[in-house]
Amino acid sequence: MSDTLTIIKSTPSELSLTLATTINDMHSECMTVDNQLTMIVLQKINLVRECGIMLIEAKAQATHGQWLPWIKDNLTMSEDTAQLYMRFAKANPEPVRYLADGIKTVKDAMV
């Protein structure tokens, strides 16, 4: 028995159709993933907003000098992150429903 490879040549139209189908299928998958990522970013943005709202409420309850020690003693985030979350919540009093053009990450949305 021979170990030769038989190459079947396809016509240009068959090749084009096969490639086009594969490319279109992959593009469709890319668009699906893109939509999923958008939903994940929206979910995270709104979680950041909710944390910010709660941080604002917690800070309002703290007396002078209690806030920073409270963050250090009770939260797993830094003071900078807490400030960022609160700024985001103040700038977005309502839940975020869509991402503006160019927003692909949470950091983009928080600038």
As a whole number, the mean pLDDT across the chain is: 87
Position 6 scores a pLDDT of: 64
Position 104 scores a pLDDT of: 75
Cβ neighbour number for residue 79 with a 10 Å cutoff? 12
Position 10 scores a pLDDT of: 62
Once rounded to an integer, what is the mean pLDDT over residues 88-111?
A: 83
| Least confident range of 58-67, 78-87, 94-103 | 94-103
- Distance between CA atoms of residues 1 and 30, nearest Å: 44
For residue 16, the one-letter residue type is S
- Answer whether residue 14 shows pLDDT above 70: no
Once rounded to an integer, what is the mean pLDDT over residues 54-58?
A: 98
pTM above 0.85, yes or no: no
Both tokens of 12, joined, read 């240009």
- Answer whether residue 61 shows pLDDT above 80: yes
Phi, psi for residue 95 in degrees, rounded to 5: -55, 145
Which of these, 89, 77, 80, lies nearest to 52 by C-alpha position?
89
Instruction: Please report, for residues 69, 108, 109, the alpha-carbon distance to residue 100 in angstroms, rounded to integers and kept in the order given.
Output: 36, 10, 8
Both tokens of 55, joined, read 């941080």
What 8-state DSSP symbol labels residue 111? -
| Least confident range of 16-20, 50-54, 82-86 | 16-20
Once rounded to an integer, what is the mean pLDDT over residues 17-44?
A: 90
